[in-house]
Amino acid sequence: MMVEEIVMKIKFDQLVETFEEILKSRGVKEETAHIAALNFARTSADGVYSHGVNRFPRVIEYLDKGVIDGNAEPECVFAAGALERWDGHMGLGNVNAAKAMDRACDLAKIHGIGIVAIGNTNHWMRGGDYGWQAAGRGCIGICWTNTTPNMPAWGGLEPKIGNNPLILSVPVSDGNHVVVDMAMSQFAYGKIELARMKGEMLPVPGGWDTDGNITKDPAEIEKTHRVLPVGYWKGSGLSIVLDLVAAVLSGKNSVTDIGRKYEEEVGLSQVLIAIDPEAAGTREDTDRIVKNVVDDIKASTPEKEGGSIFYPGEIEIRTRKDHMENGIPVLEEVWEKIQNLKK
């Protein structure tokens, strides 16, 4: 990022087609390739480049190495009413998660609430996508994943816990859903790297320095690999319990297991919950309730003159609108790399 970067604008459909073609060239069947391609394209369309276009080459690398099985189908291995336990058979994580959330929504339409716990799955890319998906089906979505150990537990030195992203979404009938998507670390490693490359400090403390002090210096944090949980001891505790719920309900890997078993971040456990406000008899009130809250929050006096207060998901909605009209920014270097993945 110290060199000048050339940014291209690629149309959404072209991104999808390119991803599909490359996935199919690795033997991934059409339907699976389409679901995966849409997920990568939507993620960049929403401005989360790290888990969209920029991440695509690594997933192809994992397919080529065989640590992801591009033709695995997720399978329901245990069903009891509104709860299902699935085995992801080490397939494409974003496809598995999309299918699991779709099934959770089906279950919610029947039982009011539905839950799918999936084990032996892989990185789901941007977790927020499954929140938007549930909301798109008129459901409240709640989902989380575990990860490789990448953060110390509060009071400890070694990375023992995951940053385990948690997503909650609330549907609004015009499609402008409210979606929060938060990892349990204050900053992603990618954000820390970017700040270091730009020679900037982080806006708030993000980890520990080599003297054991909490710091905003990204270069120091990269040396210690000790990133800070959101809310210090609080995010550490939440991370641990999210992991336990995912591991217990899937019957598969905890963060601890993932760290011990695999070189790469694979074999993850996830929980996908959908709740249907229709079943609560409150579907008709939802838009009014959301609008009332959102309007009030946005009417806050800004801390900084001329500042704006955003509700969760609002920035993604604006970014998406712009990108769907004007194309999605892709680094020329990344786009070339992707072209070279074609067979």
Looking from the CA of 301 toward its CB, the CA atoms found within 13 Å total 0
Contact 177, 287 (CB under 8 A): no
User: Does position 255 bind its own copies by CB under 8 A?
Assistant: yes
Give residues with Cβ within 8 angstroms of 224, minimum separation 6.
207, 208, 209, 210
**From the CB of 152, what's the least distance to its own copies, in Å?**
7
Our CB check for its own copies shows the closer of 211 and 325 to be 211
Please say which residue, 1 or 309, places its beta carbon nearer to its own copies.
309
Q: Is 102 in the site for its own copies (CB under 8 A)?
A: no
Q: How many Å apart are CA 191 and CA 247, to the nearest integer?
A: 28
Q: Which of residues 73-92 bind its own copies (CB under 8 A)?
A: 78, 80-83, 85
Taking Cα atoms as reference points, which of 122, 117, 64 lies closest to residue 264? 122
Beta bridge partners of 270: 118, 145
| CA angle, 255 then 256 then 258, to 5° | 65
190 binds its own copies (CB under 8 A): no
CB of 220 to its own copies, least distance (A): 16
Q: Which of residues 307-336 bind its own copies (CB under 8 A)?
A: 307-312
Phi/psi for 234 (5° steps) reads -70, -50
Give yes or no for a contact between 118 and 88, defined as CB atoms under 8 angstroms apart: yes
Quick one: which segment of 45-53, 60-68, 104-112, 121-129 binds its own copies (CB under 8 A)? Answer: 104-112
304 contacts its own copies (rule: CB under 8 A)? yes
Catalytic residue positions, numbered: 51
118 is a contact residue toward its own copies (CB under 8 A): no
Query: Considering the rule CB under 8 A, would residue 98 count as an interface residue with its own copies?
Result: no
Least distance (Å) from its own copies to the CB of residue 77?
8
Strand duo 207-208 + 214-215: pairing: antiparallel
How far, in Å, CA of 204 to CA of 202, rounded? Answer: 5
61 vs 158 by CB, closer to its own copies: 158
Beta bridge partners of 113: 275
Site string for its own copies, 139-178 (x = CB under 8 A): -x-x---------xxxxxxx-xx----x-xxx-------x
238 binds its own copies (CB under 8 A): yes
Report 201-230 residues binding its own copies (CB under 8 A). Answer: 204, 212, 214, 230
